[in-house]
Amino acid sequence: MAIENNLDLKVQTFNPAIAATGIQGARSIYDTQLTSLLDYRGQNSQVVPDSSQTIRPRHFDFNAGVQQLVPTGGTVSAAFTNAWFEDNLNGPLSQFVQPQLTLTFSQPILQGLGREVTERGITLAEDSANAALADWEQKAETTAASASTLFYTLYKTRENLDTSKASLASARRIHEENQARVKAGVLASYQLLDSELGVLSREVGLLESERAAQDAADSLKVFLQSPSRGTLVPTGGITTEKVPLTADQATSIALRKRPELLKARITLQSAEFSEKVSRNLVLPSLSLFGSAGVTGLGSGYGGAFGDMTSGEYPVWSVGINFSYPIGNSSAEAELASNRLKATQARVSLKSGEESVGLEVRNALRAVETRFRQIEVTRKGVVVAEVRFDSYDKRQKLGLATTKDLLDAESQLVAAKVLLTGALADYQVALTELYRSMGELLDRHHLRIDKKIIPSKARKETR
């Protein structure tokens, strides 16, 4: 319920969706570019100064082309140009059309060569999306841990509430028995005050227990965004099986699964990739380009297109373009910056691994300590029960006072509270251990396809 409904996690769900749009935007470099031009122009002008003769040229151009980036970093384009000219001089070139079809290719040879450089934006966007997913997984693990902790807090308060009710019932029984014995003349009346005070103090304790249980239920209900009415009541018992894990095993799992480390590795991967691309961008810009096409010329479209389709009048070009900034300070600075960032990412990953290892060892020791506390507190309950039964019998025989009996009952209540706390704390410690290992969701059999996380966020916007 927490993974599905918690509002803080829903907020985090939007980040992978936003990052996914970044991938889509980065892939737009391979979108085919379509261009077109429709142009009609003309003028009226004198042939010579102070002349009455006027020339009226008219030009019409219709051009269309497509351009496509290829993974090697080059570009391929195709262009069709259609020039139409007419004037009023009635000469051999007073009216003609000149269509031309050209294919052009340009390929960088040094700087910008290769798929890695061409698709660097896509690669970094994918790394960013994977980092956002790792952040989501970390938030999901934390959310699951918080839900588990709140559940066991509710369990503890409900158990303590039952203990308080039993304690009040026991105090009332003692008070009723005292009333009967005082009436029979076998007990001093002042002991009624002790038993009455015992009842009143336990009524106060019951009120506190009820408030704590209601607060815990309300906190869990809000955290889960539970639509149900009434008070949440935990069901099922608590298992106390010992975890058969060594520190090395738990640390090994954590190093593979912790979302923070996955994100750190993605950050390192991005930094090393950027460093590699920067080494290419330091190189001089040298590109090979060429074009080939066919053209036609005629007084009408029929003849002009016939010339063009025959291939009798080809046009072509080939060349090399070179450029290099003297000093190349910008590219060198970018390379140095990316080298430092890669080194920083390696150190950060190493630091994160050490912190995770320490966190796992601390969590494992906490689990072992809480497990031992369960055995100790169970023995404490047994001893407290025997002691209370002993004082109950002695009080009935007049060998113990009501205050002694109530003190023994209070100690029994305290022992039960300690046992309940130990049981709940052990489960919380287990939760923390599994969270520190990065497999809390797996332990709760939660399998969430990463591909649906962005779609879940998009559905929220509809």
Contacts of 169 (CB under 8 A, 6+ apart): none
Measured from the Cβ of residue 49, the count of other Cβ atoms closer than 10 Å reads 5
| Amino acid identity at 133 | L
Measuring CA to CA, which residue among 209, 28, 35 is closest to residue 119? 28
Q: What is the pLDDT of residue 70?
A: 95
Sketch out the chain's domains with CATH numbers: 117-283+330-460 (1.20.1600.10)
Contact, 144 vs 446, CB < 8 A? yes
Q: How far apart are the C-alpha atoms of 293 and 370, rounded to whole Å?
A: 82
Q: Enumerate helices (H) and strands (E) in the chain, giving the number of each.
A: 12, 8
Per the listing, tokens 């009524």 go with: 203
Q: What is the pLDDT of residue 456?
A: 64
Q: What is the pLDDT of residue 460?
A: 58
Q: What is the pLDDT of residue 159?
A: 94
Residue-wise pLDDT tens for the chain (462 aa)? 898 888 888 888 899 889 989 999 999 999 999 999 999 999 988 777 777 788 889 999 999 999 999 999 999 999 999 999 898 888 877 888 999 999 999 999 999 999 999 999 999 999 999 999 999 999 999 999 999 999 999 999 999 999 999 999 999 999 998 899 888 888 888 888 999 999 999 999 999 999 999 999 999 999 998 877 778 888 877 878 888 889 999 999 999 999 999 999 999 999 999 999 999 999 999 999 999 999 998 888 888 888 888 888 999 999 999 999 888 899 999 999 999 999 999 999 999 999 999 999 999 999 999 999 999 999 999 999 999 999 999 988 888 888 999 999 999 999 999 999 999 999 999 999 999 999 999 888 887 777 667 666 656 555
Q: What is the pLDDT of residue 459?
A: 60
Q: Which two tokens stand for residue 259?
A: 């979302």
Contact, 271 vs 193, CB < 8 A? no
The stretches of 71-119 forming alpha helices (DSSP H) are 115-118
Q: How far apart are the C-alpha atoms of 459 and 462, rounded to whole Å?
A: 5
Q: What is the pLDDT of residue 153?
A: 95
Q: What is the pLDDT of residue 317?
A: 95
Q: What is the pLDDT of residue 228?
A: 77
Q: How far apart are the C-alpha atoms of 2 and 221, rounded to whole Å?
A: 10
Q: How far apart are the C-alpha atoms of 248 and 245, rounded to whole Å?
A: 8
Helix or strand (DSSP H, E) at 192: helix 190-224
Q: Is the pTM of this model over 0.95?
A: no
